[in-house]
Structure 1
């Protein structure tokens, strides 16, 4: 096996080397951007600690002052906690982390200077190097345990050394095992600490929020932990809603993510806008200046969702996930993010003046001043070059125009919005294997799930409750109806029952739908608890009635279909 996979690795490298690598200019820009991100991250932590130190000094002076009041207002949770830490140590830069020996890189790859994510695609698709049958036989948990229990130099063979060969499902399993192993080690060290110390530490990352102040409470909890104690974010995530009973076994966390993404992506915040052609979200270039914390929160939510295996009901274009991997947006990315603009620029690049009998200036009438629409439909003017309004686009400079225009759309015009968003994401994922293991398209699957919907898989994994079995007449009618649904109806059904219209990695077989009998035949509609993937289905007397009630329910479900 080792010899075969090693040969396959050589072919994988050859596949990369025979394709087009990102330009050196782009790679250098990305390197500088990463350094900038890391420096900003450290500065933000320093500012936070400086503020905390100032508050501590003020409180200490007030305490020593003979005229101070004997009682004072209780301090906020963040202020109370920050009194224990008033200095910060600079973390290793991302580039330094990359240079640490990694099981996902080998000496030949390092010698060749190969970084797979510097190649948008290979000569052949990356998936041809993944053997699905072999991947089904791999015990990733066993591979990982064997790997961590002995020195790297003594390991004869491990699939962990060949990430290109691993399926996305196994990569996710490996990331989750790494995460759980880290959580276990943290819980064990905290347990030992709690035995010998009077200061109790929490082995979990738990936040307490009020439903009517969801974003405000999440900002306070996540921002503090992300800046002051980023390791807390690697712990298992739990949510408590104020005034509500119940232990979070996954359902409350999922509901928290659903509710907060619904609120923060709503038009009233003005942080994002929707492309009418792709229905994808994109940053609003004229968003308010004071939304830095909210963008950071969203980035952290994406990272936390990955670590806690929660699919978010959001749709970003693929370029967003490239940017989260440290890449910058280029002209090729416009095809999926801004299709109309891409087609226009493509026609500009392929325009032949001789064949068309006219110049580019006459045909297009463009200058190096362009307009970008914001969330309100207003047009924002930008000069791609100094005095751009008087520089015409010609046959000579059209490639420069396309490059600068693409850079403006995907990078420069949204820099103030994307930077804190990226900071938040890095706060959670900074020291993980995410960038070593995954391609940008796989990160999209981690966050938002797959668009491939196989309802036969959904049926095979379904569970039944309240008196229903797979042989109940209503259940048989139910699946008979669902199998006739169009793709659009299937997406509506999934959104109604799970809060997302996409499948998790590995398909719908990994989404355990619970169908519970909700009383005898009645005129009421089916309802759903999206946080538990549960459908409450009355025992309708006929297949016609079941189809009518189910169609009404999924067509009129508001928001995330929560009931």
Structure 2
């Protein structure tokens, strides 16, 4: 109910027109989108959109706009290692790269903040036309806490780097005098680490100094028990993702890439009496201090569309905020099946329909998102489930072959604006699986009418 009332208030912030038209190259979606919005002012972000992917036929009745949101969020999460690196116990979440604080980077972070707010604005104001907009941005819980202005704790470091978290916790639990020789610095192996050296301890992100980080717990919590499950898989390949910047050098090598955790930290040894201060300062630098400029740019841009006091009014938790922007992280195929409709030749009782759902159920999370992307132009599941969508997902029957003289079966086609899947009458489960898989991978971006 809070979410519904919040969106009703957000809808009042949208402009009725004029329509802002975007012409985007699919393979350069992020770069083109940043360039188009550069210097246009925040008022443009409140206007309705009409999107065209250059070189692709289609009429945007909502489906192409949904696809722009989905394609752009995937481009940000999978193709921008200079902004976000893969983090978390499974390396399937994202966090801000500490070294991405140049003016060019900050402009991109501001764009991401506006883009996230725009997704909420469009869901609120034009939900009847577009349906709920969900973004494929699997950001770590500390990110959502900072966006909301909530303080972080030492345990939040576990969300980013469990190894580093355990290392710091072991320092707290043992006698380190004469055993561990650390200085009050954070040393990087990252080749661009020096870029983060100028960052000061954050004071602008909902707190001042180390007050943003609460005291460490007295016992080490179980890593799996305290980490929310995020089953979304980033890309099929993460070869282009940035390595964790939390990998540290030998502390004895106090180089130019060593960031002091306090004034004169390069020359201050960590002892039993100062180890708690060291642990808190180091965790704070990793979580907050080194990403202050980036998060400030993103947060300020986000609140230029959705005011902070409006967000504060509803007191969303970090998980609720993630659901608001990104929807459910795991695609529930059974929920989709329950709410799918059948028309023009299918009743839902045919063998081919049973085969379709068996194949869809066997897909991993990446393939399920690809299926939704192909079918509807959006690869996310709304927090309310598929039953909330209008028009509903539905299938219609089409002939297996375009030409009776050609024995090659046709691929499925999608009308993304209407969430309609034209499913040919395949003769076996194996043929159906082959054609569906081909359509959602090789055939990404193809649609009969969008």
TM over 0.5: yes
Task: Map Cα deviations across residues 438-474 of structure 1 (whole Å, 9 max, x no partner).
Answer: 2222110011111354323211221345533323331
Which one of the candidate residues 45, 50, 59 is aligned to 1:233? 45
Q: Does structure 2 retain, via aligned residues, the 8 Å contact 1:205–1:233?
A: no
RMSD of aligned residue pairs (Cα, Å): 3.5
Distance 1:493 1:396, change over 3 A: farther
Offset at 1:429?
1.0
Q: Residue in 2 aligned with 1:50?
A: none
Offset at 1:544?
3.6
Which one of the candidate residues 449, 458, 471 is aligned to 2:336? 458
Which one of the candidate residues 406, 425, 439 is aligned to 1:539? 425
Q: Does structure 1 retain, via aligned residues, the 8 Å contact 2:66–2:377?
A: no
Which one of the candidate residues 352, 367, 371 is aligned to 2:187? 371
Which one of the candidate residues 273, 293, 297 is aligned to 2:111? 297
Does structure 1 residue 209 correspond to structure 2 residue 95? Answer: no
Which one of the candidate residues 353, 360, 374 is aligned to 2:176? 360
Q: Residue in 2 aligned with 1:477?
A: 355
Secondary structure in 1 matching 2:22: strand
Offset at 1:389?
3.2
Does structure 1 residue 385 correspond to structure 2 residue 262? Answer: yes
Task: Map Cα deviations across residues 138-180 of structure 1 (whole Å, 9 max, x no partner).
Answer: xxxxxxxxxxxxxxxxxxxxxxxxxxxxxxxx22322232233
Distance 1:180 1:369, change over 3 A: closer
In structure 1, C-alpha distance between the alignment counterparts of 2:156 and 2:30, rounded to whole Å: 31
In structure 2, C-alpha distance between the alignment counterparts of 1:278 and 1:505, rounded to whole Å: 24
Distance 1:550 1:500, change over 3 A: same
Secondary structure in 2 matching 1:274: strand
Does structure 1 residue 280 correspond to structure 2 residue 93? Answer: yes
In structure 2, C-alpha distance between the alignment counterparts of 1:174 and 1:234, rounded to whole Å: 19
Q: Does structure 1 retain, via aligned residues, the 8 Å contact 2:66–2:378?
A: no
Does structure 1 residue 520 correspond to structure 2 residue 397? Answer: no
Higher RCO (CA < 8 A, seq sep 6+) = 2
Pairing of 1:489-504 with structure 2 (within 5 A):
490=368, 493-494=371-372, 497=375, 502-504=380-382
Which of the two has higher C-alpha Rg?
1
Does structure 1 residue 320 correspond to structure 2 residue 143? Answer: yes
Q: Residue in 1 aligned with 2:73?
A: 261
Q: Does structure 2 retain, via aligned residues, the 8 Å contact 1:328–1:411?
A: no
Q: Does structure 2 retain, via aligned residues, the 8 Å contact 1:302–1:447?
A: yes
Q: Residue in 2 aligned with 1:339?
A: 162
Higher helix residue share:
1
Pairing of 1:50-449 with structure 2 (within 5 A):
170-183=1-14, 187=16, 203-204=17-18, 206-211=20-25, 214-215=29-30, 218-219=33-34, 222-227=37-42, 229=43, 232-240=44-52, 248-267=60-79, 270-275=82-87, 277-287=90-100, 288-309=102-123, 310-349=133-172, 351-352=173-174, 359-372=175-188, 374=190, 375=242, 380-430=257-307, 433-437=310-314, 438-449=316-327
Distance 1:204 1:285, change over 3 A: same
Q: Does structure 2 retain, via aligned residues, the 8 Å contact 1:273–1:284?
A: yes
Structure 2: unaligned runs, 5 residues or longer: 124-132, 191-241, 249-256, 402-407
Structure 1: unaligned runs, 5 residues or longer: 1-169, 188-202, 353-358
Q: TM-score, normalised by structure 2?
A: 0.69
Q: Does structure 2 retain, via aligned residues, the 8 Å contact 1:450–1:505?
A: yes
Offset at 1:490?
4.6
Task: Map Cα deviations across residues 51-105 of structure 1 (whole Å, 9 max, x no partner).
Answer: xxxxxxxxxxxxxxxxxxxxxxxxxxxxxxxxxxxxxxxxxxxxxxxxxxxxxxx
Distance 1:179 1:267, change over 3 A: closer
In structure 1, C-alpha distance between the alignment counterparts of 2:363 and 2:77, rounded to whole Å: 29
Offset at 1:291?
2.3
Offset at 1:324?
1.0
Offset at 1:272?
1.9
Q: Does structure 1 retain, via aligned residues, the 8 Å contact 2:87–2:159?
A: no
Offset at 1:206?
1.8
Secondary structure in 2 matching 1:278: coil
Aligned residues: 364
In structure 2, C-alpha distance between the alignment counterparts of 1:234 and 1:412, rounded to whole Å: 32
Distance 1:249 1:435, change over 3 A: farther
Offset at 1:401?
1.4
Secondary structure in 2 matching 1:422: helix
Secondary structure in 1 matching 2:98: coil
Secondary structure in 1 matching 2:349: coil
In structure 2, C-alpha distance between the alignment counterparts of 1:294 and 1:487, rounded to whole Å: 28
